[in-house]
Amino acid sequence: MTHAIRPTLRALFLLGLLAAAAPLHAAPAASPPPFPKTAVRRFIDRMVRVHHFPRAEVVRLFRGLRPLGRVLALIHAPAESLPWPTYRRMLVTTARVAEGRDWMHAHARTLARVTAATGVPAPVVAAIIGVESNYGRNIGSIPVLNSLATLAFDDPGRAAFFTHELSLYLVLCRRYGLDAKWLAGSYAGALGIPQFLPGTYLRYAVAARPGRAADLFNNSNDAIASVGHYLAANGWRRGEPIARRLPRGAASWPAGRLPALDPTPHGKRICLPAHGHHDCWLTYHNFRVLMTYNASWLYVLAVDGLARRLARGGP
């Protein structure tokens, strides 16, 4: 799950309020309690039994590890819960468009090769990387081991998913020779320029130049190749649209009017509240492919909007 994963405006605002409310000379906060011993022990047992890790190595990784409260605060206030106009303004900006065009120019050859091989347009690849990590400039600063362990052991609603991702994170670090203790990423454990979760990294990361290991932390060309590979593997259809914006008032149109407006098969109407009205789109197969990257209408529409701006010659 690649997911849009960065500290969100709402979450940062919440944390700011909490900090501002603290007494000026408050005593240092007590350390959070350690992770549940039984859950950690079961996890270590599984890493030894299933993935053949030396027990002492995994025990050493978890020694002294404690939950990160800010991770729970951030994951429960995702950017995708913001109003659509706010979310769009946050991600589709004039600066991000200008930076994206420069980035596309610098990586034009790789983008062209990936588009030819996968059918994924270069502006779509660039828009995903622009939204995910601001073209590789913000790949996260939270220790991934801590964030994944917090979500695996201290967030019951997400425990099964993130316990699995935590195990794959350790497998990933072993495969690529990465430092599992100190590697940094997003608050949800996403990694590198395309912000892949560990399982996605293991499955879809590819090198732009065959014959070497993919490096999604430092090599933008590898990130481009990996995003294209991911979308193609998840069903991207060459030459097909993502979404088409509908005129104002489309929220109240009868369903029978849509095929007459756009005969593309299987178009699905979606509408989002926006300043006293609804913004509506017809969405297509490739829209649903992008939702495998982040299962949010807002995210996909922001990527599509940024991609359209990147593809245009004007501002």
Which tokens belong to 152? 């695996």
How long is the chain? 315
User: Which whole-number Å values give the CA distances from 87 to 13, 24, 29, 39, in the listed order?
Assistant: 15, 33, 33, 37
Fold of 80-136+234-311: Lysozyme (1.10.530)
What pLDDT sits at residue 229? 98
Q: Could you report the per-residue pLDDT of 34-55, keeping only the tens digit for each?
A: 788 999 999 999 999 999 999 9
The domain segmentation of the chain, as residue ranges, is 80-136+234-311
The DSSP annotation for 148-209 comes to HHHHHHS-GGGHHHHHHHHHHHHHHHHHHT--TTT-EE-TT--BTTTTB-HHHHHHH---SS
- Say if residue 180's pLDDT is above 90: yes
Q: Which DSSP state fits 278?
A: E
With 0-12 / 13-18 / 19 or more C-beta atoms within 10 angstroms meaning exposed / middle / buried, residue 254 is exposed
Q: Over pLDDT 70: what percentage of the chain?
A: 86
Measured on CA atoms in the order 247, 253, 257, 263, is the torsion positive or negative?
Answer: positive
Q: What angle do CA 153, 53, 178 make, to 5 degrees?
A: 80
Select from 231, 66, 218, 237 the least CA-distant residue to 154: 66
The per-residue b/e assignment along 5-39, b for 16 or more CB within 10 angstroms, e otherwise, is bbbbebbeebbeeeeeeeeeeeeeeeeeeebeeee
How high is the pLDDT of residue 161? 97
**For the residues 196-220, what does the mean pLDDT come to?**
97
Residue matched to tokens 């829209």: 287
Give Cβ neighbours of residue 165 (< 8 Å, ≥ 6 apart). Answer: 148, 152, 189, 197, 198, 199
Per-residue pLDDT at 80 exceeds 70? yes
Helix (H) or strand (E) holding 11: helix 9-21
Tell me the three state secondary structure of residue 142: strand
Cβ pair 281, 294 in contact under 8 A: no
Confidence of residue 164 (pLDDT cuts 50, 70, 90): very high
pLDDT of 100-127, one tens digit each? 999 999 999 999 999 999 999 999 999 9
Q: Residue 219 is inside which H or E element, if any?
A: none
Count Cβ atoms within 10 A of the Cβ of residue 315 and give its class: 0-12 exposed, 13-18 middle, 19 or more buried. Answer: exposed
Sign of CA dihedral 222, 224, 9, 77: negative
Virtual torsion, Cα 113, 118, 121, 124, nearest 10 deg: -110
CA angle 147, 149, 153 (to 5 degrees): 125
For residue 131, give the nearest of 235, 3, 1, 225 by alpha carbon.
Answer: 3
